[in-house]
Copies of this chain bind each other. A is one copy, B any other.
């Protein structure tokens, strides 16, 4: 049984988040008591990972509505709350999807008294949280057949329990294989600049006693060339209708390396990550983050403050590099407009 990681907890008056900026050295929690605090937590990456951001934003909406004292101007105030949370980060579509779920719920209860509406929205956020974990378990079950016994899986960033409400997407597939008794081991890219691989993936895999070896991002090709990588599984932040997938910066490079070495490359993500309104990955907005994330590592400066930096947080991997997209509704393999549409049928 895997160890429980409480990435997000939703209470009526508080959204509790494990502080992912401080892991693995400190396991501390941030209690957000207003929706503005929730928005800040998403912006500053207390919480990150597309599904986790979605659930957190939903919880932020519920928290914001809980603090309304009257029904007057409800819809304006509700819009303001939703808009604040929607403006936190641009790339992960789960954020907008989760807020849309909250809007639907609010509409369903629009005739109800405020207190009932507030309870319904808190319950909806809690439902999204619980559902996300169940979705990830189904992703794991679908991905299981793609993971041979005695295999080494390379992953990038953290698409684990910490990137979701629990269990994980890419790491969910690895967990499913591990707890099904397969001997799997993980090569974890450290994932500069935020170091989600070094700090988060190693931490959560070690808690579950899944063997993991940390490498720097630029070592992946070396290990592939030596036959030390059997498959690659990563998460995604937004997938277009044609299967092009945005994920943490560096994913695109890994996909090219995997192709050159004829290594299967999979994306694991819930259907809520698929943005069918976008024809291709060219339409996915790529967040550009502050330069000091590159110039610094934690409190350690590694380049002069005046050095010019670019810091795109994501890149887009064209669908033709992907062997399959593993979802809770099955695997689109190979990914295409048709196979992806089939997941929604």
A contacts, CB < 8 Å to B: 24-25, 156, 189-193, 195, 198-199, 202-203, 206, 211-223, 225, 249-250, 252-253, 256-257, 259-260, 294-295, 297-304, 306-312, 315
Q: How far is the CB of A132 from chain B (nearest CB, A)?
A: 27
Query: Chain B residues with Cβ under 8 A from A199's Cβ?
Result: 302-303
With contacts A203-B304, A302-B190 taken as known, whether A294 is within 8 angstroms of B260 at the C-beta atoms is no
Contact partner of A302 (CB less than 8 A), chosen from B206, B215, B298, B312, is B298
Partner of A217, one of B212, B217, B299: B217
Question: Which residues from B are CB-within-8-Å of A213?
Answer: 308-310
Q: CA A303 – CA B308 in complex, angstroms?
A: 27
CB neighbours (8 Å) of A217 from chain B are 192, 216-218, 250
Are B212 and A308 within 8 A (Cβ)? yes
Q: Which of A216, A298, A312 has the most CB of B within 10 A?
A: A216
B190 and A190 contacting across the interface, CB-CB below 8 Å: no
Are B307 and A212 in contact, with the CB atoms below 8 A? yes
Q: Can you list 7 A-B pairs, Cβ within 8 angstroms, ordered by A?
A: A198-B303, A216-B217, A221-B256, A253-B253, A298-B300, A298-B302, A300-B300
Determine the chain B residues whose CB is within 8 A of the CB of A259 once the complex forms: 260
CB-CB < 8 A to A215: which residues of B?
Answer: 294, 309-311
Across the interface, which residues of B come within 8 angstroms of A303, CB to CB? 24, 190, 198-199, 202, 214
A216 touches B249 (CB 8 A): yes
- What separation, in Å, do the CA atoms of A225 and B256 have in the docked complex? 11
| Chain B residues, CB < 8 A from A202 | 303-304, 307
Cβ contacts under 8 Å, A299 to chain B? 300
CA distance A253 to B25 in the complex (A): 31
Is B256's CB under 8 angstroms from A206's CB?
no
In the complex the two chains form, is A260's CB within 8 Å of B249's CB?
A: no
Say whether A309 contacts B257, CB under 8 Å: no
The docked-state distance in angstroms from the alpha carbon of A156 to that of B253 is: 15
CA distance A250 to B25 in the complex (A): 28
Known contacts A217-B217, A249-B219; A198/B302 CB under 8 A: yes
CB <8 Å contact, B214 and A308? yes
